[in-house]
A and B are shown apart, each in its own frame.
Chain A
Amino acid sequence: AAGVIQSPRHLIKEKRETATLKCYPIPRHDTVYWYQQGPGQDPQFLISFYEKMQSDKGSIPDRFSAQQFSDYHSELNMSSLELGDSALYFCASSLGRVGRNYGYTFGSGTRLTVV
């Protein structure tokens, strides 16, 4: 079965550079979520989109922005990167409300290293 696809898997950037992470949800899933997991930490919710509109926002820095496109894929744009942005970034997708969909499927993550 098709899963959530994230690209790239690994990314190395220098401080103050910009990074773009991409997420392709499971086909027919209309909701995308982004999470950030720092070293030794639990995943923290950043932002989510439902039907291409932002539906919820967590502790996402102002330097970050995201959007969901007409084909439902999503991109997380991160500017003025800082060392503290080094983390594993996960995308998840679901079909509408979780109650109507089994599971809450995560992609394999993008490991961002800022040097």
Chain B
Amino acid sequence: AQKVTQAQTEISVVEKEDVTLDCVYETRDTTYYLFWYKQPPSGELVFLIRRNSFDEQNEISGRYSWNFQKSTSSFNFTITASQVVDSAVYFCALLLTGGGNKLTFGTGTQLKVEL
């Protein structure tokens, strides 16, 4: 069975601080995909990134960066120079291609960025 753990329930930072959101996953499959989504107060799920299990290259997109380490089954997300608009719930999710392509979400991390 697959599982995603986001141990940080809530994180509060001051604007311009860097913040890292942790994600640890469990699966016995060798082929899988990992996702991050942002859910602002308005409620929609905004896609941020998808990474497949064979691509361990880290990725940077503007202020966002992701660190994928298969050795520790982690897919952590870092926001550099956080802004108030980054305040949202962030979900990490796992998709097994042999599991009907459904996403298994972590419980989410509420990020609050204050002035």
Contact = CB atoms under 8 A, between A and B. Distances in A.
B107 interface: yes
B1 to A, nearest CB: 13
A50 to B, nearest CB: 8
Nearest to A35: B103
B100 A55 contact: yes
A33 B95 CA distance: 13
Contacts of A108: 43-44
B66 interface: no
A55 B104 CA distance: 16
B95 A42 contact: no
Contact of A43 (B91, B95, B101): B91
B44 A98 contact: no
Contacts of A99: 33, 52, 97
Q: Which of A43, A48, A94, A107 has its CB near the most chain B CB atoms (within 10 A)?
A: A43
A21 B19 CA distance: 37
A66 to B, nearest CB: 14
B101 A94 contact: yes
Interface in B96-114: 97, 99-108
A54 to B, nearest CB: 10
- Please provide the 3 A-B residue pairs with the shortest distance between their CB atoms, ordered closest to farther: A56-B100, A42-B105, A45-B102
Interface of B: 33, 35, 37, 43-45, 47, 50, 52, 91, 95, 97, 99-108
Interface of A: 31, 33, 35, 41-45, 48, 55-56, 58, 88, 90, 92, 94, 97-99, 102-109, 111
